[in-house]
Amino acid sequence: MTSNDLTAIGALRAIAAAGLDVPRDISVVGFDDIELSQYTHPPLSTIRLSREELGRKAFDALYPRGRRVGCHGTRDSDQHHAGAPGLHQPRTTEEV
């Protein structure tokens, strides 16, 4: 697991240069699901995180819940939240 997809793409290159095979010898997982990740060989498995959800969580960390009003006059507790992050798994991991 890497901190982002660009690091994972670099890891794919280094692993190939070492003569190892992804995913047979080692698994690689990125984080942030950038568009470039679908063009690697093999296509990169990556953790997909909604940018909207990330922004909402940052806002929640900065401003206490229950003390703010949404853009339509509704209390924060009345609003729904997006789903959890998930793994987008094309080919750089194998089931064990």
Q: Where are the domains of the chain?
A: 5-88
Based on the number of CB atoms within 10 Å of its own CB, is 92 exposed (0-12), middle (13-18) or buried (19 or more)? buried
Residues in the chain: 96
Q: What is the pLDDT along the chain (96 residues), one digit of tens a residue?
A: 999 999 999 999 999 999 999 999 999 999 989 999 989 999 999 998 888 888 888 898 888 776 656 655 555 444 444 555 666 666 766 765
Q: Distance between CA 9 and CA 28 in Å, rounded?
A: 9
Tell me, yes or no, if the pTM score tops 0.85. no
